[in-house]
Amino acid sequence: MLKQMTFKKIINIIWFSVALTFCWPLSANSTKIQIFVFRILQIISIINAFMLIVPLSYSIYLHYDDIAIIFQSLAILVGLSQMIIQTVILCFIKYNSLQRVVEEMIICIKEAQQYERKIFCKYIENCNIFYGSSLTITYLVVIIYIMGPIVLPTPFPVDTEYPFHVNSTIIKIIIYLQQSLLIFQCAGHLCISIFCALLLWFTAARFECLIVELQKITNIGMLIICIKKQLRLRRYARNVVNSFRFMIVYAIGVSTFALILYGIIMIVKAPLIMKIESVTLSFVLLLQIYIYAWPADHMKDMSINVSKSVYNIIWYKQTLRMQKDLLNVLIYQRPITFSVDCILPELSLRYYCSYVSNIFSIFTAVRVIIEDN
């Protein structure tokens, strides 16, 4: 991404990157026909994923004695399950909530004041290179994956078996196009993490804007306005978290399972190209979790910094009533975090480091078990 880039351009780029997933909600002003067509496309995308599940299952059945093929097929299957689950959660279960969150973001950006735009630009400058590179890497890997049959002996991008003859040229073209479309959809679903990161960074930026406003208060009226904004913003942050919470938990579970399978493929005797694919996809999966963890960690810090910023105000020189009202701001010192009871304690950079460490520990344990056998 370019350095001089507005928030609106960032939104357009991310929308384009996830367009094939049909998970970015339509505008609230969309017509019934637009909504109907959009729903049909969402259902077709789910059906398209199921069209590869059958041949992958058949491939496992035929090659039950080849551990490399079985694990590769299983890894793709869990990836497809993530695609289906994300579509169901974002397109059906959490659609209305996500639509309101996105609409509010767009309205807020349009109505942003000068100091808010400066804060938004600061966030863009801090993140554009990393997320631009992540988008580029994701789609570059996908293009290379799709072009594989040109240089490799496999007829299709996904090396699998079909329960019918595929010798016909027309059938080969249809299957190749279907798999290519599905792979691009999978890339879009990987970029859903960047869509989530966009909303998290935007929420963190709004918390920082509120901190700036708090530093400027001089009377009770301004303080009341800031307290109301804080309540609305915390409600907005919770809506963002609730829209993606269980999807992220499932993504972490899928990534863990897929990483273990890819690790086994790298250990056992398998074709070199299969090992290269495993290393590349493992990197992409770890990158996806980091894309979630970084903004979630920053949003947590900014949500609690709003309350802490009250200490920087010369509160002891204010009236007794205003000092009491400032206590209302201090009440909300509990940070907004990504967490699920008994499953995900708190999504943060600390959690990501422990996650990567645990993955490598599992790799080591699996390697010892396989070598002993």
pLDDT in tens, 131-186: 999 999 889 988 988 988 887 778 888 888 888 888 888 998 999 999 999 999 99
Per-residue model confidence (pLDDT) at position 317: 59
Query: Number of H helices and number of E strands within the chain?
Result: 12, 0
Average pLDDT over residues 314-333: 64
Burial class (CB in 10 A: 0-12, 13-18, 19+), 73: buried
3-class DSSP assignment, residue 339: coil
pTM to 2 decimal places:
0.89
Distance between CA 20 and CA 181 in Å, rounded? 9
State residue 268 phi and psi, 5-degree precision. -80, 175
Helices 169-190 and 192-215 cross at an angle (nearest 10°) of: 20
Does 310 score more than 80 pLDDT? no
Does 40 score more than 90 pLDDT? yes
If pLDDT is split at 50, 70 and 90, which confidence band does 2 have? very low
Burial class (CB in 10 A: 0-12, 13-18, 19+), 344: middle
Q: Check the CA dihedral 61-62-67-71 and report its sign.
A: negative
Bridge partners of residue 23, in order along the sequence: none
Q: Tell me, letter by letter, the H, E, C secondary structure of 27-78.
A: CCCCCHHHHHHHHHHHHHHHHHHHHHHHHHHHHHHHCCCCHHHHHHHHHHHH
Does 4 score more than 60 pLDDT? no
Does 372 score more than 80 pLDDT? no
Distance between CA 192 and CA 237 in Å, rounded? 18
Question: Which residue's entry shows tokens 């942003």?
Answer: 112
Q: pLDDT tens digits, residue range 277-302?
A: 788 888 888 998 999 999 999 999 99
